[in-house]
Every structure is written in structure tokens, then in C-alpha cells.
Amino acid sequence: QVLPRALEFAEILKNNGPRAMAEVKNLVRYVVGHERDEALMAQTAGHIARVRASSEGREGLAAFLEKRTPNWVRK
């Protein structure tokens, strides 16, 4: 029961931007070691904003709006 759900989740994750996935891993590692407070939330929001503003983030948004596959997804 867990394996099919994990494979389903992995299928979703594999289509995410490679830089974004690396940044998420780094962010999770960072957040785990810090107290959840306003400063952490602000830093996290800033980090996410930088990733969204990156070329990969812009490509992802453009692909979504244009209803096409982003350029990093293998066909």
C-alpha cells in the first residue's frame, strides 16, 4: 500500500525542475535545524521567491501558462 503511493509521488516529483528540487532539499535541511519563527518564515519566503525568479522558475511558469511541458522534462 505504501509502495504504490511512493511511486505515484516519485512520478510527480520527477517532472519538477532539477534546480528547484535541489533547492527544496537544501531548504528542508536548513529548516529542520532551526526554530520556526518569523525570521525563518521570512528567510524561507525569500528563498522561494529567488527560485521562482530564476530562469528555471520562469520557464516553469511559462510552460504552465502555455499548457506545455517545461524544457527540462524528458520526453
Asked, for residue 19, whether it belongs to a domain, the answer is: yes
In a domain, 37, yes or no: yes
Q: What's the CA gap between 48 and 61, in Å, rounded?
A: 14
Q: Which domain holds residue 27?
A: 2-65
State pLDDT tens for residues 15-44. Answer: 899 999 999 999 999 899 889 999 999 999
Domain presence at residue 36? yes
Q: Is residue 42 part of a domain?
A: yes
Task: Determine, yes or no, domain membership for 12.
Answer: yes
Banded pLDDT at 1 (limits 50, 70, 90) = confident
Domain total in the chain: 1
Whether 72 is in a domain gets the answer: no
The reply to whether the predicted model has a pTM over 0.75 is no
Give the angle 16-22-24 at the CA atoms, nearest 5°. 80
55 domain-assigned: yes
3-state secondary structure of 20: helix
